[in-house]
Structures are given as C-alpha cells and as structure tokens.
Structure 1
Amino acid sequence: MLLASAVAQAVAYPQKPVTLIVPFVAGGMTDVLARQLATSMQNATGQTVLVDNRPGAGGIIGTEKVAKAKPDGYTLLVTTTAHVVNPSITKQLPYDTAHDFAPVALLASTPAVLVVNPSIPARKLPELLAYARSAGSLSYGSSGTGGITHLSGALLASRTGAPLLHVPYKGTAAAVNDLLGGQIQASFVDALTAIKYIQAGKLNAVGVTTSRRAAVLPDVPTIAEQGVPGYETEIWIGFYAPANTPPEIVSQLNAMAKSAMNETRFKEMLQQQGTLPGQMSVPDFQRFVQKEIGKWGDIVKRSGIEPQ
C-alpha cells in the first residue's frame, strides 16, 4: 500500500503551473539553463513551467523566496555557485543554505574565462597584472557579490597582490554589456556566455580558471600556468527545491533535469561552448553541495574576504 501511494503521488505531480526562480537578470548562463529546463519540463508534463527572474543581493533575494515557499515542488530554484558561497561571505543570510533547501540536480558546469575589453593592451595574464599595477587598479565586473566570477577575481588578487577593483552586477549579461561598452575593463565570464564574444573579436581572452585548458579555447592558457600555481575555480549551476519537498518529487525533478540538460541538440550546444551537462543522482548532488559549501568557505578565508 505504501508503494502504491508513493507511485500515485509521483504520477500526480505536477497538477498546476511550476515556477523556476532565477535570482539573476535574464540573459546569463543560469537563465539559459533554466529556460531549457522549463521548456523540457513543460513538454514532458503538459503543465506550464515559468521562469521568474528575481535579481538582487548576489542572488539572495530570489533564493529567499524559494526557501520560504511551500515544499510541494511548485516553486523551485535554479542558481549559480554563489548559493554555496554566500554562507561564507554574508553575515546574516535570511535562510540556512545547508538546511532550508533540498538539492535536486547539477545542471551544468563550465570554466570561467578572464576576458578584457580590446582597448586594454594585454593578451596574457602577466601583461594584464602589469597593466593593473602601472594604472593603480583594474576594474573587473562579476555577476554579483559572492559568485564565482567575483571570487575568481578576489582569489587572483590575493595570490598576486594585483590591485583589482570588483564591480558587482545583477547578473552576467549586465556585466558583459558594460565590459563591451568599456565601462569596466575586465570580467570573469562563464565560457557558455564568453565564447561568442571571444570568437567575434569583441572581447579578448586572457586565461581560464580551471586547472586544465578548455577544449573550446585550446590556445588560451589557464591562470595557473601563467604564474599562479594552484589557482582553480569553476562555475556550476544547481537545481533546488525547498527543504522537506517529498523525496518522490525531488526524484522526478532530478530525472527531468538530467533529461533536459542532455537533450541531444542542447547537449551539443553546451559542449561546443565548453560546458558539461550534469549527470548526478540526487544523493550524489546532495553530497556535492555539502562539500562545495566547505570548499568555498576555505577559499574565502584564504582570500581574506571579510563577511559583510
């Protein structure tokens, strides 16, 4: 009887529209993945799946809405690595990252690319650091305080002593727009977003943040191999439900997420832009999230970033 009840509940979900909260402005990697997920879920279930962009406070505003939502699978979160970083850089979060969410699935992961406006006379990292020191500072944009694009710069500054000035935005698209316009000089941008601007010659790639070169940018050296040994960061996008969401619903969502990210054409598009679709089970992703919270806590401490 218990098994029959669980199956009945699983089959019954969803019975009304589902909302995916993206705590950043439209146009960035998180938004692209969320919209693919929404379309795939809608096609699979026949129910409307909406993407609701709620930017602000480094992703905290939209994330709080999901933390306080009813745990029934109808209000869900798609967000960046900032989710596991915020506990280390924010003194008073309005939710408990480790306990107020049910990790559902890893959607995708990608290196960040350090890119500069073509007006900056630097094509390699040593040249860029020398330029920053001679100019007194170098402004770099990020998708928001606490995200990997922010901490990639903070980690670089702490390891090299270069005067890097952080300029936070409410999402990647806004940062890239100002970088293209010359309002800022550099930015750490996910490969999925950066590749088209690099290929068009609108931005110059200086280095990638992962320990190995990106297959789609084989001529762009890693930051580590350009004189910053041990340097490594990676962007990943996760899918979450409120804590206490029924396990059978979380399991269904995990299956739908993996299916959405691994649809043939979408998977090919991701891989062409240096991005890997997720494959983790629910337990594997739950363990991954807990490990990442600890890892980024250590990185924040080593970088000398004080919680605000």
Structure 2
Amino acid sequence: MKRKSRIKNWLTGACALLAAAAASAAPYPSQPVTLVVPFAAGGMTDVLARQLAKTMQGQLKQPVVVDNRTGAGGVIGGEKVARASADGYTLLVTTTAHVVNPAITKQLPYDTEKDFAPIAMLARTPNVLVVNPAVPAKTLQELLAYAKRSGSLSYGSAGVGGTTHLSGELLASRSGAPLLHVPYKGTALALNDLLGGQIQASFVDALTAIKYVQSGKLRAIAVSTRERNPMLPDVPTIAEQGVPGYETEIWIGFYAPAGTPPALVERLNALARESMSEPAFIKLLAEQGTTPGDMDAAAFREYVSAEIRKWGDIVRDAHIVVQ
C-alpha cells in the first residue's frame, strides 16, 4: 500500500510539473492582461491606459483589463507590478510621479530603476495652472500677489510626487509665494473640488484641462512648459510671466516588471506605439494639447534613467522635504 501511495504521489507531482511546463510554454498571451493604473479613473493616465487596452485586446485576442490602484502618489500600484511575475500579464501605466518618487520618498517598497522594465512612452503634455473663476487673478503675477496678500493659496494635485504637485512646489520656491499643496488620489478628484471652490487652483495636465478652460468653467493662468501650447496659444508660459527658467512637463509611461523577456518588451513597445499613433487618437490628443510618444524600448529606458536624475535635482533645488 505504501508503495502504491508513493507512486500515486509521484504521478500527481509529475502531472503538476507537466501542467506548469505546458503553461509556461503557451504562446503569449494565453490569459487576460492587467494594466495597473495607480490613479483614479477619468484622468489622463486612465484615458491613455484604456486606449492602450483597446488596441492590445484587439491585437492579442485576450481581455485586457484596466485596474485603478490608487494611493501614495502611484506607489501602491507600482508595488503591485514590481512584485508581479515577469510574464507580461501585469503591467503598469503611470505618470512622471514614478520617476519622481525616488527623490521624495525615503523608503519605497521597490527600486524604481532595478525593479521595472521600461516599455514605452505613451504621451507627453504640459501642466496648466488653472484657477476657479472666483479667484481674482488673470495673470501669474496677479495670482502670486493675491496669494501673498491672502497668506496662502490652496492648489490641488493628482497626488504627492507627481508633476502636478512639484510644479507648484517649484513655483513656490522660485516666487516666494505661499502655496498650500492639497493632494488628491487622481486628477478627477482634484478637479471636482476645484470646480466646487473647495480649493483655489490646480496644476492639471493639458489633456484634461483644455475642455474646462474652453467651456469657461476654469481660468487658465499659465502653462508649465518652455513654449506655449498650440491649443492654448493665448496662455503664456510661467517662464515668460516672470519666473525665468521654469519648466515642467507630464508624461505617461508603460512598464513591465524587471526580468520580462526582451522580446516581449519589444512586442509590447510596438503595440503601445501603434495604439498611440491611431489617427483618430492622434487627433484627439492634438485637440487637447498632448503629443503621443514614439520611442523604442531602449531609448525609453535611457530617458527614464535621465528623468530620475533630473527630478532628483529639481526636488533638491526646490528644498522639497522628503516624505
């Protein structure tokens, strides 16, 4: 009986190993793919992720699900992907916050450079400094003067560590204006309070901001990039309104866990670039002041590495306190 039991156990184990081997040998993808977005639904990151999911699902013939894992400035969603298997089934779509977090967070639960494989840049856009129409300012200098007279000006962001947060911190450090940061779990939540008057201002990605500016629900004060945005030609940059050298930009990146096979990274890069270059989507992005990304995986990997160092310098120069 003992011998039969041993044989049975051996056969069970062998079957399990064969099943695992068969699964690992299955062509990619053989199961649903999850795109983790570490911010709330409705913002720029979510819009791009859902466009990417639509393209991937059509090409890969498997369900591609967007999973909004909010919190901690993108860290919660990032950790989920960093700890996932490097098999292409759990991927990350996130903002510039991903490369800023190493500079502002003392103890990240992952290494931003070592624990992720950069796949592709999806899109880039300026931040727009917008205010509730009740705020008595139409130019940056009027807004800064109002903040100084009032003792503070509250501005919302999509979360601690993103460019919508650091754009305000950099402006405060360069201008001396008392700007009070109010973090939210995503752009949509910050906009709700801005529209309702609970906060006075916000830095918002152009893709999201333009429709509110054009409808008159929000007033655009300045754009954060070096040059004006074609969709907001009458809105001056922060630099040309008396803060020389000021420049920030938001971009959305696509990542896999470290160790993902290079051939799979290249395949996903091709899918991402195809998705962002669909004519109807390019038109949509252009109408909202946003440019699609078009880097190969190697170029994007180098870009991510450079951005980590760049934002580290900005955080240091702006004397931002590490959380």
Could you state the TM-score of these two structures normalised by the residue count of structure 2? 0.92
Partners of 2:311 and 2:49 lie apart in 1 by 24
Does 1:285 find its partner at 2:293?
no
Q: Which amino acid aligns with 2:299?
A: D
Give yes or no for the alignment of 1:73 onto 2:79.
no
For residue 159 of structure 2, the aligned residue among 108, 119, 144 is: 144
**CA spacing shift, 1:44–1:199, aligned 2, 3 Å:** same
**Which of the numbers 187, 210, 213 marks the counterpart of 2:202?**
187
Q: Which residue of 1 aligns with 2:42?
A: 27
Q: 5 Å matches for 1:240-255? A: 240-255=255-270
The AA in structure 1 aligned to 2:295 is M
Contact 1:132 1:138 (C-alpha < 8 Å) held by counterparts:
yes
Kindly provide the amino acid, as one letter, of the partner of residue 33 in structure 2: V
CA distance in 2, matches of 1:277, 1:211: 18
Letter paired with 2:108: L
Query: Alignment partner for residue 186 of structure 2, among 171, 184, 187?
Result: 171
- Percent identity reads 70
Query: Matched residues in 2 for 1:214 and 1:247: separation?
Result: 36
Give, as a single letter, the amino acid of the residue that structure 2 aligns with 1:25: A
Residues 103-132 of structure 1, C-alpha deviation per residue, up to 9 Å, x if partnerless? 000000000000000000101000000000
Partner Cα separation in structure 1 for residue 302 and residue 35 of structure 2: 23
Q: 1:113 corresponds to which residue?
A: 128
Map 1:83-122 to 2 at 5 A: 83-122=98-137
Would you identify which runs of 4 or more consecutive aligned residues in structure 1 move more than 4 Å? none
**Aligned match for 2:311, one of 296, 303, 306:** 296
Describe the SS at the equivalent of 2:91. strand
Structure 1: give runs of 5+ residues left out of the alignment. 1-8
**Which whole-Å CA distance do the structure 2 matches of 1:58 and 1:268 have between them?**
30
Q: Does 1:234 align with 2:226?
A: no
Question: Would you say the 8 A contact 1:10–1:249 is kept in 2?
Answer: no
SS at match of 2:299: helix
Q: Residue 111 of structure 2 aligns to which amino acid in structure 1? A: D
Shift of 1:10: 11
Cα distance in 2, alignment partners of residues 251 and 17 from structure 1: 19
| 8 A Cα contact 1:179 1:185, kept in partner | yes
Deviation of residue 15 (structure 1)? Answer: 1.3
Larger of the two Rg values belongs to structure: 2
In the TM superposition, residue 249 of structure 1 has moved relative to its aligned partner by 0.6
1:137 and 1:165 mapped to 2: Cα distance?
6
Which residue is 2:231 aligned to? Answer: 216
Work out the CA distance in 2 between the residues paired with 1:62 and 1:236: 17
Contact 1:10–1:248, Cα closer than 8 Å, also in 2: no
Give the structure 1 partner of residue 17 of structure 2.
none
TM-fit CA distance, 1:12? 2.1
- Counterpart of 2:62? 47
Question: Is the 1:42–1:48 Cα contact (8 Å) retained in structure 2?
Answer: yes
Alignment partner of 1:159 is 2:174 = yes
User: How far did 1:11 drift?
Assistant: 9.6
Cα distance between partner residues in 2 of 1:139 and 1:253: 40
